Amino acid sequence: MRPLRCAVLDDFQNAATAFADWSPLGDRVDVVTYDEHFATQDALVAAIADADVVVTLRERVPFPAALLNRLPRLKLLIASGMRNSVIDYAAARANGVTVCGTESSGTPPVELTWALLLGLARGIVQENDALRAGGRWQSTVGADLHGRRLGLLGLGRIGGKVAAVGLAFGMEVTAWSQNLTEERAAEVGVTRAPSKEDLLASSDFVSIHLALSDRTRNLLGARELALLKPTAYLVNTSRAAIVDQDALLTVLREGRIAGAGLDVFDTEPLPAAHPLRTAPRLLATPHLGYVSRANYERYYGQAVEAIGAWLSGAPIRVLS
């Protein structure tokens, strides 16, 4: 009998087999990993048309009905995380595809948020580059955190942890979201901003920790970005579409904010000629928020568990 074929997508670091033990599946499943992103649906279909199982990272690869209809062999789709907005669940059911998720830690994106914020505040990249190139000694003046205001858009699981670090630095922390209550703000020990506009205008650092939805898409456009202080920094490790990319490029190029830290982009991987690659006042990382040893062990280890459970007829962590 032919073993099932499992395709692991976007395994850029070849981590799927390095951070999980696939031996419990024995010879029932052949695992094939792809360390490059498929830029078109046709290229993706050509690669995985004979796959019975697909493991996909986060929301990088959409699985609309048009794609699922072209994958007749696919029976199990596993996505890292327990929420995925780019899978058409109704189409999956119609095609007989079970969709499962994995657990995901909120700690790595919290840590990366602070890496970006601190890197911006203290000019780490510029100073490191200058030092290694034999350039100017001390060319930047760092922005202080202690006593400054950190504004958080979103105070959920991740935003709450970011707030705790800000408080430990001695920052004044405020937060706003459409559903944020005074009780939740008090629970975390921060102040609830009266409005999004007030938070943007009064904060020295703004960090985004909202889920992408119809209400949050383009939440920060040209009007909102214009409210930021010229000395303010904006960090987005959440979802790219929450911030209008063109408007952000404009304020960076015109020097209307001190800088921005981005880990998420409208198109990923970011094209080589994309203007964000050369934007001034920008510290950017290639969507590393979830990329940590512990998270990869969890993602791929639980993917193996999900395949085994599905093979036994009792799927686990089923998404819908």
Tell me which residues are annotated as active site: 239, 268, 287
> Distance between CA 219 and CA 136 in Å, rounded?
39
- Helix boundaries (H) for 107-195: 107-121, 124-132, 157-168, 182-188
Q: Please provide the DSSP assignment of 38-78 as one string.
A: --SHHHHHHHHTT-SEEEE-TTSS-B-HHHHTT-TT--EEE
The single-letter DSSP state of residue 277 is G
Residue 27, SS3 per DSSP: helix
The H or E element containing residue 91 is helix 89-94
Query: For residue 67, what are the CA distances in angstroms to 40, 61, 268, 269?
Result: 11, 10, 18, 20
163 half-sphere exposure, CB direction, 13 A CA radius: 24
271 half-sphere exposure, CB direction, 13 A CA radius: 6
- For the beta carbon of residue 302, count every other beta carbon within 10 angstroms: 21
Work out the widest C-alpha separation in the chain, in whole angstroms: 67
The single-letter DSSP state of residue 278 is G
> Distance between CA 6 and CA 17 in Å, rounded?
12
